[in-house]
Amino acid sequence: MRSVRYFNTTGPCFEAEHYMLPPEPRLPEAREYIERGFYFVVHAPRQSGKTTVLETLARTLNAEGEYVVVSFSCEQMRTAETVGDAEAQLLGIIAEAAENTELAPEFRPPDPWPETVPGNRLGMALRDWAVRCPLPLVLFFDEIDTLTGDILVSVLSQLRTGHRLRSRGKFPHSIVLCGMRDVRDYKAASGGDPDRLGTSSPFNIKVDSIRLDDFTHAQVAELYEQHTEATGQKFSPEAVQRAFEASQGQPWLVNALAREVVDKMRVPVSEPVTDGHMDEAVERLIVARATHLDSLVARLHEPRVKRIVEPMLAGTETTTGPTYDEDLSYVRDLGLIRQSHYIQIANPIYQEVIARVLTGHVESNINVDPRSFVTPQGRLDFGKCLTEFVDFWRLNGEILARQQTYSEAACQLVFMGWLHRVVNGGGLIDREYAVGSGRIDIFVRWYLPDRSQQWEAVELKVRRPGRPDPVTQGLVQLDGYLDRLSLPSGTLVVFDQCSELPSITETPSPSGRTIILLRI
């Protein structure tokens, strides 16, 4: 019998309906900050659980009876054209949220709100409500970063002005701004210079910006264990590990993978969920490219996203400039890259989706039958894959490369498009790429008839005019990659812009492994 609860991938989670982790431990600083009357920012990428955490915290604090807490979304205000319209909409949203919270009459906002000139209505309304309310008033502004320009400046400025009154009970005791971006980008969105955040910042009263972190491996296991307790169906340790590796704990992906296995693939409850099931779920998720993934893909052609992602695909250093730090912060806040000094795509699923999107038009121009690369024994004829790629590149490579919007990584993207067209349906491809690495590592897992796997490892490099030949460095790097995979051989592909004579030769690596060197 299936559990009433399920893995949620749409909207906030509710304990009675969904498998979910306790929200408050994910934001441990919040309660202390509220008790101290702080104004602060909570930010994380889309569908990371921000709304779930805020709404659960609001319900908990209201039940404890020491504060009046109202959580509401500013998303509807994106259609407002003037400050006056925005204030009217926001006050309506707050009033409706307060009604839905089922506050006692003495805690509700004034009805009607006090009237004053546009640009001051929000501040006066919140001041009036705070004075009337017998308990300290706490407000959660969710989706605050949907506001832009003068409207954003006005809202933040009115909150900043009222902040000094809160200690006297004449303004909300604590305010939380929640959105995808940190407060630095609020300044940019309001039309200001994000590099000059001094007293001119429209929200320089915030005590902290807290990022809601992704799940740890232990939290993924804890979430999946709830399904086991409800149904008896176990997730093997290998399945949990595979889910964590593929998602790196991104909450939506963690839930989506489990939902794919349980609700879409319908693995019988009597069977444990294995890493093989999770592999299939990862591939299905990538192919389906649900709304969450599509929303990230839509960002790829934004100039500041491209400035960060393109060097990763090319393995080159980023070009620093006056907006580099802000570009990097923005792409991190989107959740596209990891929260670390090492610039790398956030998780393997995003990594694969990005690569497939950018190589899609290449695949559509490849007229080959993938079955022609399979031997009678069911193996992938990788040598044939390389030789036929040479012919394909001669006829189409430069034209397809010129069509790439990510021109710096065009050669690599064309090869990846070819390889995916050949492997698609019979195996899987894992890719590793990062800024400054000087290469892309590709790992092909081909499924054999006896359920074992054939593994092939490829490293891609580019030799550009005026730069040294990368073969020596590539052999060393490939050696390290093969060592990680415990493979005795591999392939090094060098797109040589200094030569027009393609060649396929065999050469030893520094440790004595057999390396196929394709220079094209």
CA distance 165 to 155: 16
222-227 long-range contacts, Cβ below 8 Å, gap at least 24? 222/21, 223/19, 223/20, 223/21, 223/254, 223/255, 223/258, 224/19, 224/258, 224/273, 226/5, 226/19, 226/20, 227/3, 227/5, 227/7, 227/19, 227/258, 227/262
User: At which residue do the structure tokens 């999946």 appear?
Assistant: 224
DSSP string, 21-66: --SGGGSTHHHHHHHTT-EEEEE--TTSSHHHHHHHHHHHHHHHTS
Which domains does the chain possess?
A: 24-211 (3.40.50.300), 217-288 (1.10.8), 340-519 (no CATH)
Please tell me the predicted confidence (pLDDT) of residue 2: 54
pTM of the shown model: 0.85
Q: Report DSSP state, residue 321.
A: -
- pLDDT profile of the chain (520 residues), mean per 10: 81 93 90 94 90 93 96 91 94 96 93 93 97 97 90 92 91 94 59 42 71 94 97 97 97 97 96 95 89 82 90 78 84 87 88 88 87 96 96 86 83 92 89 78 94 95 88 94 96 87 92 95
Tell me which amino acid residue 399 is: I
149: left (phi over 0), alpha (psi -120 to 50) or beta: left
Q: Write the pLDDT tens digit of every residue in 123-159.
A: 999 999 999 999 999 999 999 988 988 999 999 999 9
What confidence score (pLDDT) does residue 202 get? Answer: 52
Structural contact between residues 37 and 280, judged by C-beta atoms closer than 8 angstroms: no
pLDDT digits (tens, 9 = 90+) for 15-62: 999 999 998 889 999 999 999 999 999 999 888 999 999 999 999 999
